[in-house]
Amino acid sequence: MTKTLAAPLIRNLTQEEREDAIDSIHSWMEFPDDASLIGSYPQVFQAEGQALSLGAFFAGKLSSHTAYRRVNLRASNGFIKATLVGDVATAPEHRGERLASRILEKLASSEQAAGQDCILLWSDLWEFYARLGYAPAGVQAELKMKINITQDCPGVRPAAIADLSAILELHEQKPWRVKRDLSELSLLMSVQNLDCMVLTEDSRILAYACHGKGLDLQGWWHELGGSDQALQKLIPAAMSQLRQKEAVLILPPYRHALITKLSGLYEELREGIVALCKPLSSRGLCDFFVDGLDSI
């Protein structure tokens, strides 16, 4: 016999409700007890991050949650409006009741009505998202780096708060990127378990590279800024300083020339996808790349 289910109320959470829901979302996401959701996703759960949450409620009780953040994404066809989605989680006793699906359907229609061009998210659950109209999109090169000998390079050191303006300038030089201001960058850089290394010359920042991010992307270099020439010096030296013998380096399509420059330092090159995408307008059908710090 088919179970008849009451329809949930799907609506945005207030900031106070979001704060109250953090422990529930933490456990629904099966996040480790000793990890912090706020520390791992500051752009989602800190009030300054300007992310929103949609929830499914039964009698006023939150039973499923999805966070989203609207950004301007500079893609192959200029700036488009993208909605980044994450922290999709349903209370175990309500799983299989289509709550997450209903929230995502409602989100797609409200984001389309708001003039957004696409929704992007990061997940291994491709089949679940395919049913809701999401498909793998964007290509990135993934280099399996292997460093056998110490690669020293003067001027390579961990980034400091005073470097943020210079790092933002390097970010703004990228042809494809999420638009950020200084306070957004500062929030993104506050994520736990992030290694951000810089290459300096005469106290100028020539390049930066980011490794790890909360519980995500450990063992992955996921965001780079600066010229290919500067990154050719920075990446092996940064790996050496962090005592990494192996790591995967993500390269956007516009960094194809860096692959040749790093020859001899990687043992495998494969192609990956950037995100799962649901286009909401013709402008959402484009080539793009999202740096690791922006994904939620």
Contact (Cβ atoms closer than 8 angstroms) between residue 97 and residue 5: yes
- In the complex with ligand COA, which residue's Cβ is closer, 217 or 224? 217
Least separation in angstroms between residue 89's CB and ligand COA is 4
Least separation in angstroms between residue 295's CB and ligand COA is 11
- Interface characters, 20-49, with ligand COA (x: CB under 6 A): --------xxx-------------------
Output DSSP code: residue 22: H
Q: Which of 11, 70, 74, 95 binds ligand COA (CB under 6 A)?
A: 95
Maximum pairwise Cα distance, the chain: 74
Does 291 bind ligand COA (CB under 6 A)? Our answer is no
Least separation in angstroms between residue 261's CB and ligand COA is 35
CA-CA distance, 71 to 116, in Å (whole number)? 9
Count, in order, helices (H) and strands (E) of the chain.
9, 13
- In the complex with ligand COA, which residue's Cβ is closer, 34 or 124? 124
Measured in whole angstroms, the distance separating CA 47 from the mean position of its chain's CA atoms is 18
Does 140 bind ligand COA (CB under 6 A)? Our answer is no
Least separation in angstroms between residue 213's CB and ligand COA is 16
Contact (Cβ atoms closer than 8 angstroms) between residue 85 and residue 72: no
**Per-residue tokens: 222:** 């996921």
CA-CA distance, 180 to 237, in Å (whole number)? 27
- In the complex with ligand COA, which residue's Cβ is closer, 55 or 252? 55
Least separation in angstroms between residue 160's CB and ligand COA is 33
- In the complex with ligand COA, which residue's Cβ is closer, 25 or 234? 25
Question: Residues 75-113, buried b or exposed e (16+ Cβ, 10 A)?
Answer: beeeebbbbbbbbbbbbeebeebbbbbbbbeebbeebbe
Q: Which of 44, 54, 71, 89 binds ligand COA (CB under 6 A)?
A: 89
CA-CA distance, 179 to 255, in Å (whole number)? 19
Question: Residues 264-285, buried b or exposed e (16+ Cβ, 10 A)?
Answer: ebbeeeeeeebbbbbbbeebbb
Q: In the window 198-237, what residues touch ligand COA (CB under 6 A)? A: none
CA-CA distance, 218 to 224, in Å (whole number)? 15
CA-CA distance, 110 to 11, in Å (whole number)? 11
- Interface characters, 105-134, with ligand COA (x: CB under 6 A): ------------------x-x--x------
Q: Which of 81, 82, 83, 97 binds ligand COA (CB under 6 A)?
A: 97
Does 88 bind ligand COA (CB under 6 A)? Our answer is yes
Least separation in angstroms between residue 108's CB and ligand COA is 13
With CB under 6 A as the contact rule, which of the stretches 75-83, 84-92, 257-265, 281-289 interacts with ligand COA?
84-92
Does 16 bind ligand COA (CB under 6 A)? Our answer is no
What one-letter code names the amino acid at 80?
I
Q: Which of 54, 67, 99, 217 binds ligand COA (CB under 6 A)?
A: 99
Question: Crossing angle, helix 182-189 and helix 164-172, to 10 degrees?
Answer: 110
In the complex, which residues of this chain contact ligand COA (CB under 6 A)?
28-30, 64, 88-90, 95-101, 123, 125, 128
